[in-house]
Structure 1
Amino acid sequence: MLENLHKKKKELLKEFQDILPDNLPNELPPYRMHQHKIMEEPGSKPTFRAPYRLSPTELVDMKKQIKYLLAKGLIRPSTSPYGVPVLFTPKPDGSLRMCIDYRALNMQTIKNKYPIPRIDDLLDQLRRATVFSKLDPQSGYWQIRMADNSIHKTAFRTRYGSY
């Protein structure tokens, strides 16, 4: 049975290699049936915040990460009226994770009211299951394409420019 599961896993990974690649391509994800849209409350104004003050270490890391994201085609220079700051949080290994502070934008977005499943209901549904799996897509947040009419809302500002 275990060998059969490994075979089935390989078949599934091959079938869905476009959404579960070993390495991410140096480009935006393909257009799919759904793109992420940012819908704002009526009357909202573009969110614009000055860059935060960062340590010398964070500035060096930010330059590296921006260079990497530009090379991957995941960001581009921006002239959007929107723009929010960047901050850093430590990763478990001690390196820095660059985060974009979208809190101001989030305050004026229309919230998705669809109910989240209850954990106890999900556990009830899994009660007789014998096989469990877990997927951890590589940089999953970069694998969902942004709707073209929302891209300008995701601009972030740094002392080196807006992206």
Structure 2
Amino acid sequence: MCIDYRVVNSFIQLSNYPLPLFDDLITGFEGMMWLMSLDMASGFWAVRMTERAKLISAFSCPFGHFQWVPPEEETLEDQDVLDYLRLNPQTPRVETNA
């Protein structure tokens, strides 16, 4: 099955800025003590879709109507990732072993 999202894609505003080159990124980390990265291959499931995005990505076919429903156990475990991505100032960023 293939879902045609060309109409949805026509409303997406593309970034005016090109992606940086890998070499430029690496030189920007000179002298840094810490580096954080988010693995989107496994972290993809941690970022929830908005209700509007769920409606836009839903589709109907002869087998029924389908809409994204996240697995609850993973969304609860990844609340720290969600809080960090939302830049919530109330959420502590560093855990201490006190």
What TM-score do the two structures reach when normalised by structure 1? Answer: 0.29
Larger Rg: 1
What TM-score do the two structures reach when normalised by structure 2? Answer: 0.42
The structure richer in helix per residue is: 2
